[in-house]
Amino acid sequence: MMMKAHVVSLSLVVLAAVIAGCASERPQATTTDIEVSGVYITEPAMGERAAMYFTVVNRAGTEDELIAVSTPVADVTEMHKTVQQGGTVRMEPVTSVTLPANGELSFAPGGYHVMLLALLEAFAPGDWVDATLHFRVAGEIAIRGEVLKYVDIEKALTGSE
Amino acid sequence: MRRTNRVSQVQPRSTHWLVAAACLCIVLLSSCGRETENESTTDSYRGRLLPQPREKVDFSLQDTQGAMFDFREQTEGYVTLLFFGYTHCPDVCPIHMANIAAVLNDFSFELHQQFKVIFVTTDPERDTPQRMRHWLDNFDPSFVGLWGTNDEVNEIAVSLGLPPSVIFETEDGGYAVGHSAHVMVFTKDNLAHILYPFGTRQADWAHDLPGLATETWGE
């Protein structure tokens, strides 16, 4: 009886650890050298468009280039850069973004974002969205991100209050 | 002999280090004090203080119910957060609005009531009053949305010392709107003393807004 109880409680602990591990692990994709993490999609404002953010880490000694992002939930995706200049803020479309050798590329509010336009599927906070990053050298990397309310974006991307 | 020599050489150096470290501590402490501990009005905010406070301008624009909103008259007695933006804006506008709404909604009813948030569209062509209402309701139904022609809105922005909006054509045949990145805050004296750039965090708003509700700027 004692043995059985121990086995049960041990397996519960293992299960709990596995679940906790899953929950705390941000979805990430890894090829040999490129790792994508912190993928978040904003709730679609007015149901029309949403922004996607993520961080790409390159462990290779050679640079790469993010040339496109695609997702089954949007017919059109564009990469944009938010430019602040003299108190004015505007966004500019970009056709590619350099991923530096042994470096990092961050898509975050006020900087780069992927704009999801012409949405094909409705999604809401708590949902998960699939997407593919297309790199010139590394090719395609599949990612998954959680849909967040705008108010939760700051906390998710900075990891603190 | 050599040993004492060495010690005597080292001592002045270590004294220098001590003095340097002490100075650094004083500098650090005084700069900390400036940011967080100083009770005097102007130094304790995280927003960007304007060297010269700017007065509210008189203007009337259409609100989301189709009524004319007299800015000076209808914001009198409130701490007024004024922002120029547009609803197709992907991150700057909704994040500013969402962050402000979250912080205000954490305040007591009494404190919350002392604030008015005014969103003026810089995209009158696409932002109908109804559309603005729907968009603002995502954040806080009490936020006021104002609509005017491009010329009217730009004249207001410029007279407040903010940059006018600029329309940019995009490759897909659409357009984006460049607009002021700042939220301008008028205190109850009807003057704007402080601006909040994009990147202002919820913690910064939560830190500054209660103080601004009672701020008299030394008057």
> Which pLDDT score, from 0 to 100, does residue B85 have?
94
DSSP structural state of residue A110: T
The domain that contains B79 carries what CATH number?
Answer: 3.40.30.10
Co-location of B11 and B79 in the same domain:
no
B193/B104 same-domain check = yes
Indicate whether B83 and B19 sit together in one domain: no
Q: Is residue B98 part of a domain?
A: yes
Comparing CA positions, the residue from A1, A65, A57 lying closest to residue A31 is A57
Nearest CA in chain B to A83: B178
Q: What are the pLDDT digits (tens) for B180-193? A: 989 999 999 999 99
- Whether residues B5 and B93 fall in one domain: no
Does residue B19 share a domain with residue B118?
no
- At B174, the pLDDT band (50, 70, 90 cuts) reads confident
Measuring CA to CA, which residue among A115, A134, A121 is closest to residue A72? A121
pLDDT bracket for residue A30 (50, 70, 90): low
Contact A45 B176 (CB under 8 A): no
Domain A28-158: give its CATH code.
2.60.40.1890
Same-domain check for residues B99 and B149: yes
Q: Where are the domains of chain A?
A: 28-158
Read off the pLDDT of residues B45-63 as tens digits, 9 standing for 90 and up: 999 999 999 999 999 999 9
Q: Does B1 reside within a domain?
A: yes
Nearest by CB to A88, from B97, B163, B203: name it. Answer: B163
> What is the tally of structural domains in chain B?
2
Query: Does any CB of chain B come closer than 8 Å to the CB of residue A88?
Result: yes
Determine the average pLDDT of the residues in B165-169: 86
Question: Which residues of B lie inside 8 Å of A (Cβ-Cβ)?
Answer: 87-88, 90-92, 94-95, 97-99, 101-102, 131, 134-135, 138-139, 162-163, 166, 168, 170-172, 176-182, 197-199, 201-203
In a shared domain, residues B65 and B169: yes
Distance from C-alpha of B201 to C-alpha of A156, rounded to nearest angstrom = 12
Q: What is the DSSP letter of B189?
A: T
Amino acid at B210: P
B169 shares a domain with B67: yes
Identify whether residues B31 and B94 lie together within a single domain. no
Percent of chain A with pLDDT over 90: 65
Same domain assignment for residues B110 and B172: yes
Query: How do residues A100-119 score in pLDDT, each as one tens digit?
Result: 999 999 999 989 999 999 99
CA-to-CA distance for B79 and B113, rounded, in angstroms?
A: 9
- Per-residue pLDDT of B70-118, as tens digits, reads 999 999 999 999 999 999 988 889 999 999 999 999 999 999 999 999 9
Instruction: Tell me the one-letter amino acid at A97.
Output: V
Is there a single domain that holds both residue B64 and residue B164? yes
**Residue B10 Cα distances to A105, B1, B7, B15, angstroms:** 46, 14, 5, 9
Give this prediction's pTM.
Answer: 0.78
Whether B68 and B19 share a structural domain: no
Range of the domain at B10: 1-37
pLDDT tens for residues A59-82?
A: 999 999 999 999 999 999 999 999
Strand partners, A82: A91
Residue B143 lies in a domain: yes
